[in-house]
Structure 1
């Protein structure tokens, strides 16, 4: 049984937490060879994590050959080879085993070893400078969705900034990053606040096709409820519902960390619409409430993605900056 627990306070990206836990379960035998992992969409609905983040994790697991993807069938835990070859990956695993054995001989604990390895990796990463991106938006849900997709691009580090905080500050916005990205809606406001030398990249955000289809197929007599962290994202969902849904009853709304309002709303509705990565914004009690109604209310994960053309443009720009950084190092 696949069980993933995300630590939102950790510095480790969410996709790496997923990779680490799935690979650990495979190594321990909890996920046996041939076990079929949930589809990206199913995983996203059950966990509240964006599909882009989950796909990134699955791709990383496939690169390690721990899982294999079969077109039209799904993603499965790989069946181990009968003999261990002398390829690069096998040699790398042997080298790691030797290192771990040596650290154990020196009486270092697994936690100490992990710290030392992390320090050495960070030292090496300083010589291979990634492209730093500052993402700016007005609501936390959209900012999280944008950031998760950008983190899925190669050679990228990201910092998040709320537009209102920047506009309230008396100082110019000088993020000291390679790129600044925002949406066309906030472009003018940001240009008026940003320090000289920066030209924000405009990223068009749009609702995912799968989400639009899910909304369009909600029966007319369904009582729908929206739970969000911000009123602006709730309004965004409402606008999308007006476009794709034909509902008999008004849509209910509530906001996370607002007492028992979520529990009260759930009792009044049949279906829920939730933002991507909603567990980042809920209290532990609210997270349990939402998990308990996965079967009864069939939550729709409102996936809000960077439009494909914008994403390709951004990826090309990041690749050019990355290459320039390496040439200078």
Structure 2
């Protein structure tokens, strides 16, 4: 659909729409397109805009303009190699426009393309990654955050598990990469010996939405923290103090000690609650609409998303591409920057 409020030029939108119709089979080789006047009237745009779109499609070999007859979808079955390349560039341009609209940087796009190409080329058991941190909530968040990476297998370890193990090198021997946070990097690096060469340090921080929602709280509000571990509760407490230093009333409750009935009584004590994104309170089948009732009465619910930051993700993607090239020859072809 043409969107006149979009930043992308209307003729480019029309080009993309016709290319998508071809891709989805709604337009077939040798189908005749509407005249410039007909299409302009149908879409409520200028005839010159349609003419510009048709010219770009014709210049790239997507349509044929036959004088006195009209414009037709080119028969790709007889496209020359050069025509196919021109059409491919057009498709890639359209994809890049979309990714840039989603605020992906060039390095991010290159990393994602490398990883995607590696997936297509590879016939392997996938990438094995170990994630190490001090609390169960963060580990679950990191695991979910990394699931966009194709064929990745993620195992989570508490820092204590690694530090107390007599032979952590053996414990981590089957992994291609090991991730830990800046807080625990030095500890872990010192303890895992030669495995340090595959250890990746990542910075973590609350998501933008989490920060905004916390900052909007009234300092006079009573706030309850609901989570599973004391360490995650402390992370939330520290962030509340940083972004809302005048907040007066904060209490912590641990989910594994609560029943639905107890939760119901506790929620009523607070103007807002901060919970981990995998909280049992978010499970409708368990809580029987408890949060919905709380929100309906004016309560605020803030899931605390504690994520690997964007810079660390870009670096991690680069490391993944390098690992794929080293351990699975022929994969992860590095695209030029």
Per the normalisation by structure 2, the TM-score is 0.56
Query: CA shift at 1:223, angstroms?
Result: 1.2
Unaligned runs of 5+ in 1: 1-33, 35-69, 73-80, 88-123
> Do the aligned residues in 2 keep the contact of 1:134 with 1:159 (CA within 8 Å)?
yes
Say whether 1:274 aligns with 2:281: no
Asked if the contact 1:257–1:283 (Cα under 8 Å) also holds between the matched residues in 2, the reply is no
CA RMSD, Structure 1 to Structure 2 (Å): 3.5
Residue by residue, what CA displacement relative to the aligned partner does 1:36-74 show, whole Å, maximum 9, x if unpaired?
xxxxxxxxxxxxxxxxxxxxxxxxxxxxxxxxxx979xx
Q: How far 1:239 moved relative to its partner? A: 0.7
Question: 1:153 aligned to 2:149?
Answer: yes
The C-alpha deviation readout for 1:98-117, integer Å capped at 9, x for no partner, is: xxxxxxxxxxxxxxxxxxxx
**CA positional deviation for 1:242:** 0.7
Residue 190 and residue 271 in structure 1: after superposition, are their counterparts in 2 closer, same or farther (change >3 A)? same
What's the CA shift for 1:262?
3.2
Among 165, 168, 174, the residue aligned to 1:169: 165
Which of residues 133, 136, 139 is equivalent to 2:132?
136
Partner of 1:250: 249
Report deviation, 1:298: 2.3
Q: TM-score, normalised by structure 1?
A: 0.57
* Contact 2:282–2:291 (CA under 8 A) maintained in structure 1: no
Of 307, 310, 330, which aligns to 1:305? 307
Residues 136 and 236 of structure 1: is their aligned pair in 2 closer, same or farther, counting only changes over 3 Å? same
The aligned residue for residue 203 of structure 2 is 204
Q: Give the unaligned 5+ runs of structure 2.
A: 8-20, 30-119, 332-337
Give the C-alpha shift of residue 164 in structure 1: 1.7
Size of the aligned set, in residue pairs, is: 220
C-alpha change, 1:315 and 1:265, in structure 2 (3 Å) is same
The correspondence of residues 279-290 of structure 1 with structure 2, limited to 5 A, is 279=280, 285-286=286-287, 288-290=289-291
Aligned: 1:192 with 2:194: no
Partner of 2:212: 213
Please state how far the C-alpha of 1:134 moved relative to its aligned partner: 0.5
CA deviation vs aligned residue, 1:75-124 (integer Å, no higher than 9, x gap): xxxxxx8976789xxxxxxxxxxxxxxxxxxxxxxxxxxxxxxxxxxxx9
SS in 1 for 2:256: coil
Contact 1:135 1:143 in 2 (8 A): yes
C-alpha change, 1:281 and 1:267, in structure 2 (3 Å) is closer
